């Protein structure tokens, strides 16, 4: 269910982006008055603006609704993990500094022959 809502959320976001990019800005009307723009579009002179604005508002509302739904689902799904209160490793798992030092019997001692050659 979570993945389905994420897919719908992404598609709604792309739809909002597409509709916003298709809308004309406020300065586009001045260009249409001098003949450079086309005010008679598929939706009519004013129909495109109202249709695109309403579609953008509907998609934006659905986008915010899916955002809220995903936030609620995510907050109920995960359990808060605090590493300070519940550390993942115990003190027994972590080696101490004294464990890292070799014992006296493990330290190599040079042989007498090797010491005499250096003299």
Q: What is the pLDDT of residues 29-59, one digit of tens each?
A: 555 556 555 555 555 555 556 888 899 999 9
- Which among 31-35, 86-90, 106-110 has the top mean pLDDT? 106-110
- Say what the pTM is: 0.50
Using a pLDDT cut of 90, give the percent of the chain over it: 32
The C-alpha atoms of residue 23 and residue 25 are separated, in whole angstroms, by 6
**Domain locations in the chain?**
2-77
pLDDT at 4: 93
Comparing C-alpha atoms, which of 59, 55, 35, 36 is closest to residue 47? Answer: 55
The C-alpha atoms of residue 45 and residue 42 are separated, in whole angstroms, by 9
Is the separation of the CB atoms in 13 and 63 below 8 Å?
yes
């Amino acid at each position: 269910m979570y993945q389905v809502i994420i897919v719908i959320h992404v598609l709604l976001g792309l739809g909002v982006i597409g509709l916003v990019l298709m809308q004309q800005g406020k300065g586009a009307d001045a260009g249409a008055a001098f003949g450079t723009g086309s005010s008679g579009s598929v939706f009519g002179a004013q129909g495109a603006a109202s249709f695109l604005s309403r579609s953008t508002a509907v998609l934006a509302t659905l986008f915010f609704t899916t955002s809220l739904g995903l936030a609620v689902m995510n907050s109920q799904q995960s359990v808060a993990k605090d590493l300070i209160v519940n550390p993942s490793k115990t003190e027994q798992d972590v080696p101490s500094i004294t464990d890292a030092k070799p014992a006296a019997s493990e330290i190599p001692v040079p042989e007498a022959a090797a010491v005499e050659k250096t003299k």
